[in-house]
Structure formats: structure tokens, C-alpha cells
């Protein structure tokens, strides 16, 4: 079931207005929390710039139907960590099972 949902998450086209938002950490910190609302028929797009050999950690802290995908890295996750390369990753946040209503979420992102 998760594989089909992941495919649905990635196949939903982003609208022209849905430009990716860069994730920025507060000065002196290694992470942040993103609050948002996962739309019922689309995904939210964020970008995360990292250095080589760091560890990125993402976890959905709130959101009963909310998952994220990192194209080329992982699909349909509510928690995931990985060793980074020096590049900018795209993070797509959406709903696992498409609901009629948007779903609020809180996503923790850290890089060390």
C-alpha cells in the first residue's frame, strides 16, 4: 500500500505557483521545524542544501496522514535519515492517503 501511495505522491504535478521553498536553519542551530498544511491534491516542495558527509534527519512530528519523499533517495516516509552529498535536495510533503481536506503537519529537519 505504501508503494502505491508513494507513486501517487510523486506523480501529482506541482502547480506553477508551487515553487520550492528553501529550508533555512536559525543562526547557531542544526535544525528547524516546518509547519504547514499538506494539500489534498498536490504536494509542498522544500529544498535543503547540504555539505558532503553530513547526516540529514527528517521526521513528521504531527500530521496523521502526512509523508515526505526525497526524489532519488526515498519515498513515502514519516521518518528518515541519510548521509548527504554536497548538493541541494528536494523534499516533497504530501498526504499518504488522499483526503478531501488539507492535513496540517509539523516536520522536523536537521543536518549535522
Indicate the domain borders of the chain.
2-111
Q: Could you tell me the pTM of the whole model?
A: 0.83
Closest CA to 69 of 3, 17, 25, 24: 3
Choose between 76 and 98: higher pLDDT.
76
Distance CA 33, CA 31 (A): 7
Percent of all residues in the chain with a pLDDT value above 70, rounded to a whole number: 84
| CA-based R_g, the chain, Å | 13
Q: Are 66 and 78 in contact (CB under 8 A)?
A: yes
The pLDDT, as a whole number, for residue 28 is 95
18 falls in which pLDDT band (50, 70, 90)? low
pLDDT tens readout for residues 36-67: 999 999 999 999 999 999 999 999 999 989 99
Q: What pLDDT score does 27 carry?
A: 95
Measure the CA–CA gap between 5 and 3, rounded to whole angstroms. Answer: 5
The topology (CATH level 3) of 2-111 is: Jelly Rolls (2.60.120)
Task: Decide: helix, strand or coil at residue 10.
Answer: helix
**Minimum mean pLDDT among 1-5, 14-18, 51-55, 79-83: which range?**
1-5
Positive or negative, the Cα torsion across 83, 87, 88, 90? negative
Amino acid at each position: 500500500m505504501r508503494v502505491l501511495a508513494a507513486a501517487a505522491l510523486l506523480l501529482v504535478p506541482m502547480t506553477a505557483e508551487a515553487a520550492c521553498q528553501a529550508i533555512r536553519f536559525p543562526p547557531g542551530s542544526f535544525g528547524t521545524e516546518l509547519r504547514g498544511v499538506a494539500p489534498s491534491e498536490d504536494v509542498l516542495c522544500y529544498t535543503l542544501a547540504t555539505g558532503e558527509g553530513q547526516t540529514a534527519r527528517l521526521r513528521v512530528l504531527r500530521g496523521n496522514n502526512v509523508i515526505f519523499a526525497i526524489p532519488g533517495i526515498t519515498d513515502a516516509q514519516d521518518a528518515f535519515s541519510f548521509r548527504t552529498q554536497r548538493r541541494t535536495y528536494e523534499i516533497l510533503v504530501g498526504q499518504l492517503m488522499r483526503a478531501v481536506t488539507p492535513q496540517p503537519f509539523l516536520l522536523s529537519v536537521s543536518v549535522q
